[in-house]
């Protein structure tokens, strides 16, 4: 496997909300994505999802409230939690989730 440069991948990720698989670790996917605006509310019924902010600032909204995440901050969304991510300006994240996770979730 070749070295992975997250900085280079950020520069290649132009379209928001189009996660790109970076690597697989056993049954887990590392995915980089650009966030811009607000994503739809959704739930992952069977999978947890971890967000790590690489560049910029995002918010994770749940029914319990919002969490602000800046560069190098992470947040775990437990399975079954209704949520959405959003960013006022372009931001890039690393998603850590099972390979089988449908990135669009189940709309709620």
CATH number where 71 lies = 2.60.120.10
Could you give the 3-state DSSP secondary structure of residue 104?
coil
Q: Is the separation of the CB atoms in 93 and 29 below 8 Å?
A: no
Please check whether residue 75 lies inside any domain of the structure.
Answer: yes
The whole-number pLDDT of residue 49 equals: 96
- What is the domain range of residue 41? 6-107
By C-alpha distance, which of 62, 68, 71, 64 is closest to 92?
71
Please check whether residue 1 lies inside any domain of the structure.
Answer: no
The whole-number pLDDT of residue 41 equals: 96
Please check whether residue 16 lies inside any domain of the structure.
Answer: yes
Please check whether residue 57 lies inside any domain of the structure.
Answer: yes
The two tokens of residue 99 are: 């390979």
The whole-number pLDDT of residue 96 equals: 97
Residue in the structure block whose two tokens are 């989730």: 97
Its pTM stands at 0.90
Number of domains in the chain: 1
Rounded Cα gap, residues 14 and 51, in angstroms: 19
Rounded Cα gap, residues 93 and 38, in angstroms: 14
Per-residue pLDDT tens listing for the chain (108 residues):
689 999 999 999 999 999 999 999 999 999 999 999 999 999 999 999 999 999 999 999 999 999 999 999 999 999 999 999 999 999 999 999 999 887 655 555
Please check whether residue 11 lies inside any domain of the structure.
Answer: yes
């Amino acid at each position: 496997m070749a070295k992975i440069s997250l900085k280079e991948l950020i520069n290649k990720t132009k379209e928001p909300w189009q996660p790109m698989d970076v690597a697989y670790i056993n049954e887990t996917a590392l995915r980089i994505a650009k966030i811009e605006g607000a994503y739809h509310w959704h739930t992952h019924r069977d999978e947890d999802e971890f967000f790590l902010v690489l560049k910029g600032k995002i918010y994770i909204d749940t029914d319990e409230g919002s969490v602000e995440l800046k560069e190098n901050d992470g947040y775990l969304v437990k399975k079954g939690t209704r949520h959405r991510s959003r960013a006022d300006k372009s931001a890039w994240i690393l998603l850590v989730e099972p390979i089988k996770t449908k990135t669009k979730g189940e709309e709620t």
